[in-house]
Structure 1
């Protein structure tokens, strides 16, 4: 009779639960993260000492026109604050230079709805065909 026990092989550690946890964490971080932070859109002209800064009305004639609506309903196009009449004039100038002008409206999270509707109305009256609203979340 042999009373010695046979040595057992090393226990195997299963990696399946670890992979499951990693996938759950991956999905969690993908869902909770923000991929596009539109507050990074530059609203001020670049100050370059070697060349004069271009005017906002003529800057990037083929590029989109970014219009920010602040929490108080104020319009900002680049570094300038505008009222609705000034905005309509700017749109008229830009549309004569580029008939396919794209206007991106970036309201803040606390912008009044009436300000957004007024900007959209002024843009459609000026003849803008490509109008988009991109919602910005309010700052925490």
Structure 2
């Protein structure tokens, strides 16, 4: 047949590729791995230093204790004496008076676990803004 061109190889010429080429994917993943390995030591993590309860030191001889009541009323105790009612605006002056010029006398804030967190933070913030150095929270000893 003079006018017929044989196309025997055309059905096998170009086939579509049904595979995923993994080489570019692996290259990208290796670059990302190296970037994360280099930058991970540079990231600062937030450190929370929580107090431990079981190993407390011996209680100091002179302690000023502020008791926060359920009704947000404050009481001031000096060296386990009688508790005297006090208002928040007069707190700093009374604490300074009880310290008698000794800034190293610790101030301990005691509150029932049902007292609002905000009430305790207000007392602590008031003392720290006034420059009282040793302010702590009273906790129950033992497990």
TM-score (norm 1): 0.48
TM-score (norm 2): 0.47
